[in-house]
Homo-oligomer: A and B are copies of this chain.
């Protein structure tokens, strides 16, 4: 399963919580395997996962009646469900149902609460006699934690827990690492497919289309595709436009799709023709920053020390004025998980973290260069998820 249950229990204990409630799409899917479509593509639809501390009850999913089919059809690691809302799915007497339809029928037949909040209240009333202090992921609630009143549930203190979920998600399970490895591979394949189109006259939009089609073919969906040419590469978030590729132009990718809900974030650079000396020299410094950073990664290393080392490397190797707020971050079901590799970070690297290590450089009138690799922190150092090096590609 995706959830690191041991760490969930540890974080609850550390924060003095009797239960945790996931409410935002990333945390609901992470805590249960349940991907509740409408919650992912809109603001407003509610789905929760309730996880009590060890010995204080059983985890539960709170699911809308409109989304019970997905609960039946997905690999969900929380077997108990409370449902809410109105929805009509028919069954005809005497018609045989396969396993999937039987599971759906059972879910549709459950007594329904009038709202997600009422369903959660019912769980707390029934199972929560030892549950007094509840951490609730405040980012998925409808508007306001203080406006989140549960009926007939007295004496429960709700505290914000979005950050507690980030803490839990920082150490990946094997299943998560498998997905991250695959989405990294799909993203590298997509960069390759996009660069296969590189020739004078091609537009950023055309190259992004090739990138995204390869992402779809790999089984992922497009999320991040900052793809630009020439001086437009100086835009950190460059969005594909009608700008046309010319001889000598830089091409920068900062991109990654989503595979089985897990994100990639990888950066590579190419030049159509011969790179200038400045491009070569700056790129070399940035690549060395990432490479030496990755070599230094071990459990126990302070994120802030890694940050200092990477920035120093880039400065010493060719960009003396190099400045950054961070040189990387965790990645998982969210594109920016913990830890953050910044100068002010209090995070310490741990085995099982998956990190993006990156050294972007943006200069108006020149362009942007960026090397970004994905790695797993193992007991003896970093294991790369990359099949390609971050070297400057000359086409």
Q: A residues within 8 Å of B by Cβ?
A: 24-26, 35, 37-38, 41-44, 66-67, 69-70, 72-74, 86-92, 95-98, 100-101, 104-105, 138-147, 160, 162, 205, 209, 212-213, 216-217, 219, 221-224, 226, 231-232, 234-239, 241, 321, 323-325, 334-336, 361-366
Contact = CB atoms under 8 A, between A and B. Distances in A.
**Which 8 residue pairs of A and B lie closest in terms of their CB atoms, listed nearest first?**
A69-B235, A138-B143, A146-B146, A95-B365, A144-B145, A90-B363, A88-B323, A101-B364
B96 A365 contact: yes
Given A72-B235, A89-B362, A97-B365, 17 more contacts: A37-B226, A37-B237, A42-B336, A43-B139, A67-B237, A69-B235, A69-B236, A69-B238, A70-B239, A73-B239, A89-B364, A90-B362, A91-B364, A95-B365, A97-B364, A100-B232, A209-B216
B146 A101 contact: no
Given A92-B366, A365-B101, A73 B24 contact: no
A245 to B, nearest CB: 17
A362 B105 CA distance: 12
Nearest to A217: B209
Given A100-B232, A237-B69, A86 B321 contact: no
Contacts of A145: 143-144, 146-147
Contacts of A97: 364-365
B146 A139 contact: no
A348 to B, nearest CB: 22
A367 to B, nearest CB: 10
A66 B236 contact: yes
A321 B37 contact: no
A4 B105 CA distance: 44
A216 B72 CA distance: 30
30 contacts: A24-B43, A26-B43, A35-B239, A37-B226, A37-B237, A38-B237, A41-B223, A43-B139, A43-B162, A66-B237, A69-B235, A69-B236, A69-B238, A73-B235, A88-B325, A89-B364, A90-B321, A90-B361, A91-B364, A101-B364, A104-B364, A141-B143, A144-B144, A144-B145, A144-B160, A146-B147, A209-B217, A213-B217, A216-B222, A221-B222
